[in-house]
Structure formats: structure tokens, C-alpha cells
């Protein structure tokens, strides 16, 4: 090899290195773009992946309704025929929106349902409503269940009553 050929080859080396480095950088950038865009494309084509991503990155407030008896220690457990009895129950709206609650109160005597009260109440978010229920038992019962049921919410509470023996 002549002296002139060697000098030409040395001059080409930096150009070749620059071109190789440029190609490597282009490949890396293209690979990153494919990974990022590929993730979006997969998420758009597979709804379950998209939903899983949304569910895992979105904080959803828990929504529920509290239904409970006021002063549950003093619920009537023994009743006298033809004497008025009463109790109170509370609905607490934690559904993160205003709700209209339909409810029914009934007595369950051996599987037979007798309505005591039914109504509905509009409750604003994070507020509550206490309902007073008065009832009179007019037929003899040995044991019965008083039920408060939120219609459409699949929630109910109950307590048991017995007839006071006559002396």
C-alpha cells in the first residue's frame, strides 16, 4: 500500500465512525419510539389492558350507604298486643352524590310479610336522615321479625320481637 492510500484511509475513519454513531443513535431513538407507541397501540386495541391501566392509576372513592338502628340497645323485644311501639333507623348517604332512597318496613310473621311503613327520602351526599316508625301489633305472635329494607340497594336490617305473656 502506498503512502497516499494510507492517508486517505485515515481521513475516512472519523467519517465512518461518525456515520456509525449516527446510525446507532437513530436505531436507539426508533426503538424507544416503537416501545412507547407500541404501548399506546396495544392499550387501544386491547380494552382490558386499557381498563387495567386506568383502574390502577385512578383513585375511585368508595361509595356505600349506611343503614342502622338508632339506640339499638333499646329496640323493643317484647310487645303487648294493641300497644303502640316504636323505633328509629338512620340512612347515611356516602354514595358521593345525592340519592333518593325508597324503603319499606315490615313485620315477618312465620314468613308472611305485613307492611308497616313504606316511603322514600331524598338525602344529600354525606348527610343522613333518621326515620321514626311507630307500629301496633293487633294479632297474636309468638315471635316475629321487624325488617327495614332499602329497596334497590339490597340492604336490610332487622330485630326480633316476642309477645309479652298475658298474666
Higher pLDDT: 26 or 69? It is 69
Sheet with strand 64-69: strands edge to edge: 64-69, 84-94, 128-136
For residues 107 and 87, what is the distance between their CA atoms, to the nearest angstrom? Answer: 13
Residue 14 has a pLDDT of 73
pLDDT band at 88 (very low <50, low <70, confident <90, very high): very high
Within the chain, residue ranges assigned H as helices are 3-45, 47-57
pLDDT digits (tens, 9 = 90+) for 93-129: 999 999 999 999 999 998 899 999 999 999 999 999 9
Higher pLDDT: 7 or 161? It is 161
Torsion of the alpha carbons at 25, 27, 29 and 33, rounded to the nearest 10: 180
pTM: 0.64
Cell numbers 407500541: residue: 38
For residues 52 and 102, what is the distance between their CA atoms, to the nearest angstrom? Answer: 35
Percent of the chain with pLDDT over 90: 49
pLDDT band at 2 (very low <50, low <70, confident <90, very high): low
- How far the first Cα of the chain sits from its last, in Å, is 131
Radius of gyration over every alpha carbon of the chain, rounded to an integer in angstroms: 37
Given the DSSP bridges, would you call strands 155-163 and 99-109 parallel, antiparallel or unpaired? unpaired
Residue 107 has a pLDDT of 95
- The average confidence (pLDDT) of the chain is 85
Q: Is the pLDDT of residue 7 over 80?
A: no
Residue 160 has a pLDDT of 96
Residue 36, phi-psi category: left (phi > 0), alpha (psi -120 to 50), beta (remainder): alpha
Amino acid at each position: 500500500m502506498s503512502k497516499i492510500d494510507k492517508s486517505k484511509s485515515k481521513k475516512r475513519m472519523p467519517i465512518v465512525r461518525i456515520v456509525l454513531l449516527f446510525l446507532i443513535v437513530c436505531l436507539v431513538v426508533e426503538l424507544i419510539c416503537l416501545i412507547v407507541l407500541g404501548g399506546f397501540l396495544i392499550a387501544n386495541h386491547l380494552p382490558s389492558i386499557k381498563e387495567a391501566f386506568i383502574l390502577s392509576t385512578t383513585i375511585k372513592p368508595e361509595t356505600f350507604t349506611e343503614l342502622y338502628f338508632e339506640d339499638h340497645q333499646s329496640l323493643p323485644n317484647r310487645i303487648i298486643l294493641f300497644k303502640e311501639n316504636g323505633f328509629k333507623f338512620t340512612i347515611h348517604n356516602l354514595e358521593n352524590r345525592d340519592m333518593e332512597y325508597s324503603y319499606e318496613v315490615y313485620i315477618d310473621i312465620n314468613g308472611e310479610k305485613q307492611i308497616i311503613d313504606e316511603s322514600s327520602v331524598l338525602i344529600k351526599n354525606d348527610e343522613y336522615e333518621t326515620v321514626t316508625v311507630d307500629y301496633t301489633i293487633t294479632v297474636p305472635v309468638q315471635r316475629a321479625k321487624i325488617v327495614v329494607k332499602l329497596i334497590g340497594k339490597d340492604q336490610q336490617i332487622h330485630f326480633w320481637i316476642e309477645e309479652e305473656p298475658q298474666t
